[in-house]
Amino acid sequence: MKHRIPLAKPEILQQDRDAVLEVLNTSQLSMGARLANFEEAICAYTGSKFAVAVNSGTSALHLCLRVLALPENSEVILPSFTFAAPLNVLLQEKLHPVFAEIDPVTLNVTAETIAAAFTPRTKALIAVHTFGRPLDMQSIRELAQERNILVVEDACEALGAKVHNQMAGTFGEVGALAFYPNKQITTGEGGIFLTSNTQLAERARRLRNQGRDPSFGALQHVEAGYSYRLSDINCALGLSQLRRLEETLQRRHSIARLYDEKLACIPQIARPPLTSPYGRISCFAYVVQLAPPLGADCRDWICNAMERHSIGTGKYFAPLHLQPVLKNSVRPQLPVTESAANRVIALPFFNQITDAEMEEVCAALAASLAGFTAGFSRRKQ
């Protein structure tokens, strides 16, 4: 359903339209110059040695796991409090997910929670910078080296986040970025595989296009590959958006700051920290938590009330370990994840949100929360 104040909205300016139209006026809509330009621009921006653009963040993440070629049934550590993609690619690659607990404030995994999930069968970890908040990659990398496991960095929500001075996505053996329309920049659909390893980059490039090796003839495919290409139309949009990414990140940060100020007077709402000791946050979403003992009933009440005002909200994330796809697996104990998941509310967050819209969101949130607590005290009498 289309909301008057949506949860997310891409920012498409005239220069984006012009860039797309320029490609449409050529005869090369795929595997052309814009693809190469987009990959080069991402390398220049992130400092990654190689970038392979694909048709989604999930495809990028899939290539990450595929090129690492872990033995079947190897354990891979990931957060449960995240989007479905990391779990899906593990299951598709016949790898065994082991969930790490999160920190209750940052909603991110830590080196400690990852260490607690480690077993002798662990072969890799997927480090997800949830909501664009940088993880302590230094400690996570040290831990991975100590335990001799590989690091996949899921920076799909974190384009432009920095860990100290290095860009998120460039810390692991392999990494992924994503460009769905709710992201910091969009290509419509799209993602990118990052690595500094020549062999892994070559393999990802080959797998993206039917397993064809560019050094052989066009119809020589050397392994079973995928159709994960990203068109030049998407790349042109991405290139255009990338040019103003730094400005976009500043704007998103100032929106987060405004929300922070407007919500400071509601004690039952815990606001996300706006800084990180590990580096620069790249604001992907603005996610508040209800303070306990408020829980899922209050959260659902608020989201329904906001819906009636045609204001979009999100309940990110539903824990992965509770998903029906894992119903036959042993259920891990993740009390922090489960508690947070019941209390999170993502508020409308996009570049062009106005001050008046934010005001309205905060007023609707405060009013519905007050409505719930008044009803609750009446029900108790």
Where do contacts with ligand PLP occur on this chain (CB under 6 A)?
56-58, 61, 82-83, 85-86, 128, 154, 156-157, 178, 180, 191
At its nearest, how many Å lie between ligand PLP and the CB of residue 266?
27
Q: What is the 3-state secondary structure (H, E, C) of the chain?
A: CCCCECCCCCCCCHHHHHHHHHHHCCCCCECCHHHHHHHHHHHHHHCCCEEEEECCHHHHHHHHHHHHCCCCCCEEEEECCCCHHHHHHHHHCCCEEEEECCCCCCCCCCHHHHHHHCCCCEEEEEEECHHHCCCCHHHHHHHHHHHCCEEEEECCCCCCCEECCEECCCCCCEEEEECCCCCCCCCCCCEEEEECCHHHHHHHHHHHECCECCCCCCCCECCCCCECCCEHHHHHHHHHHHCCHHHHHHHHHHHHHHHHHHHCCCCCEECCCCCECCECCCCCCEEEEECCCCCHHHHHHHHHHHHHCCECCECCCCCHHHCHHHCCCCCCCCHHHHHHHHHEEEECCCCCCCHHHHHHHHHHHHHHHHHHHHHHHHHHC
At its nearest, how many Å lie between ligand PLP and the CB of residue 341?
15
Nearer to ligand PLP, 245 or 366 (CB): 245
Nearer to ligand PLP, 125 or 298 (CB): 125
Q: Name the residue number minimizing CB distance to ligand PLP.
A: 57
At its nearest, how many Å lie between ligand PLP and the CB of residue 305?
26
At its nearest, how many Å lie between ligand PLP and the CB of residue 195?
17
Nearer to ligand PLP, 123 or 183 (CB): 183
Nearer to ligand PLP, 109 or 362 (CB): 109
Nearer to ligand PLP, 108 or 368 (CB): 108
Nearer to ligand PLP, 100 or 369 (CB): 100
At its nearest, how many Å lie between ligand PLP and the CB of residue 347?
17
